[in-house]
């Protein structure tokens, strides 16, 4: 039997929501990852002083 379903690489869910960096994620893990990316991205901007330092960045 070769009934291999695409599974979320984090939790193993078969309800795939997005492929990020070539890896499948379900909605829960995918949105968590996207949020993490955004927070990281904003932190970098802040560090480079591209956005004002009084802008609050949420914790991932």
Positions that interact with Zn ion (CB under 5 A)? 8, 10-11, 13, 26, 29
Complex with Zn ion: residue 11 or 36, whichever CB lies closer: 11
* Smallest gap from residue 47 Cβ to Zn ion (A): 30
Taken in order 41, 44, 50, 56, is the CA torsion positive or negative?
Answer: positive
Complex with Zn ion: residue 17 or 45, whichever CB lies closer: 17
* Whole-number Å distance between alpha carbons of 33 and 60: 9
Q: Are 38 and 22 in contact (CB under 8 A)?
A: no
* Smallest gap from residue 5 Cβ to Zn ion (A): 13
């Amino acid at each position: 039997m070769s009934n291999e379903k695409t599974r979320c690489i984090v939790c193993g869910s078969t309800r795939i929501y997005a492929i990020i960096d070539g890896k499948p994620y379900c909605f829960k893990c995918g949105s968590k990852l996207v949020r993490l990316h955004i927070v990281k991205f904003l932190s970098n901007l802040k560090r480079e002083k591209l956005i004002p330092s009084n802008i609050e960045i949420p914790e991932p």
